[in-house]
Amino acid sequence: MSTTVTPERVEQVVYGALESFGADPSEFSRTVTFEELDVDSLDLAELSQIAEEEFGVPLKGADVKGIRTVGDAIDLIVIRAQ
Amino acid sequence: MLVTGGSRGIGAACARALADDGWAVALTYRTSPGGAQETVREIEAAGGRATAIGLDVNDARAIPGALEEATAALGGTVLGLVNNAGVRADDLAVSIEDDAWETVLDTNLTAAFRLTRQALRGMVRARFGRIVNVASVVGPRANAGQANYAAAKAGLIGFTRTAATEVARRGVTINAVAPGFIRTDMTADVLQNGALEAIPARRAGEPEEVAACVRFLASDQAGYVTGTTLFVDGGLSA
């Protein structure tokens, strides 16, 4: 799975997940924080699950606690997938 | 719907009641494959769908596989879970051996946590789920000789309340039932010791009476009921 992981693909999946959580797509960017998007800890747990299913990247609670922005999440998934 | 400890007693009654309510049911067994198969046959004879899965709930590594097996057998994500498997190892707190403490806590509490954690993954994604934990009147209420069991069941109720608040906005409910003295193999010795006199209803409960409550908590009608404990005890805790 990791051979097909590109930042663009990860961004697409992350944005799709955020939209499913009810976040406003017009606010999406790499610099926006999850707090600004009103994305909470349960949403991040679900995002971790989606990343694992889509890219085979297991993200534990401690990993997720360190991320603040959407870009942080995308970068973490891309790095873990390489 | 996955029902642990579904081969006999309250678990088997829950499996039958839930199947009667339209759930496809996977019931787990550890020591009684014959009982599990008998429950499956009863459900199928009544027109329901059921399958039996061997699982030692204390084997943490086996839990993801059991959920996968249930998903495959039921033809979709497991959207219901009844944590029913339980054991007793009674003694006074002053005499409980470490093994007896750990076994009771592992089976009655830790296994329920692990199964819930695993099942919640699919339920949260599906925006729907029903989890019912079979606790006990022992825990909220004292019962000398069962400190380990009481600790586990009180812990299960606390776990139920908090976990319920975490996933409520995803359409997932988590509740507990707290049976009193129910006529099963597990309580046969207790019921012979005059326990009935302490029960306002003056009788033991039947597994089907617990199952009816589980059936309600798992139903669509109970969608706004979460984090609560429904006592099924003939008034013992009133």
Nearest-neighbour CA in chain A from B174: distance (Å) = 16
Task: Please report the pLDDT score of residue A2 as a whole number.
Answer: 46
The tens digit of pLDDT for each residue in A39-54 reads: 999 999 999 999 999 9
Tell whether B174 lies on the interface with A, counting CB pairs under 8 A.
no
Give the per-residue pLDDT at A64.
81
Crossing angle for the helix pair A7-20 and A70-81, nearest 10 degrees? 130
State residue B205's pLDDT score: 97
The pLDDT tens digits along chain B (238 residues) read 999 999 999 999 999 999 999 999 999 999 989 999 999 999 999 999 999 999 999 999 999 999 999 999 999 999 999 999 999 999 999 999 999 999 999 999 999 999 999 999 999 999 999 999 999 999 999 999 999 999 999 999 999 999 999 999 999 999 999 999 999 887 777 777 777 888 999 999 999 999 999 999 999 999 999 999 999 999 999 9
For A62, residues 6+ apart whose C-beta sits below 8 A from its C-beta are none
Task: Find all residues with CB under 8 Å of B48, minimum gap 6, and list them.
Answer: B16, B19, B20, B23, B24, B25
pTM over 0.90: yes
What is the end-to-end Cα distance of chain A in Å, rounded?
Answer: 10
List chain A domain ranges.
2-81
How far is Cα A57 from Cα A80, in angstroms, rounded to an integer? 6
Which residues are within 8 A (CB) of A8 and not within 5 positions of it... i.e. 6 or more apart? none
Q: What's the CA gap between B202 and B72, in Å, rounded?
A: 44
The pLDDT of residue A3 is: 55
Q: Is the ipTM of this complex over 0.85?
A: no
- B124 contacts in chain A (CB < 8 Å): 42, 45-46, 49
Q: Which residue of B has its CA nearest to A41?
A: B166
Taking the CB of residue B31, how many other CB atoms lie within 10 A of it? 12
Domains of chain B: 2-230 (3.40.50.720)
- Report the C-alpha gap between B114 and B64 in whole angstroms: 9
Give the residue from A57, A31, A75, A53 showing the smallest Cα distance to B77. Answer: A53
Nearest CA in chain A to B167: A42
In this structure, what are the phi and psi dihedrals at residue B75, rounded to the nearest 5 degrees? Answer: 80, 25
Subunit contact A49:B170, Cβ cutoff 8 A: no
Contact B231, B178 (CB under 8 A): yes
Architecture of domain A2-81: Orthogonal Bundle (1.10)
Among B68, B117, B124, most A C-beta atoms within 10 A, so best to mutate, is B124
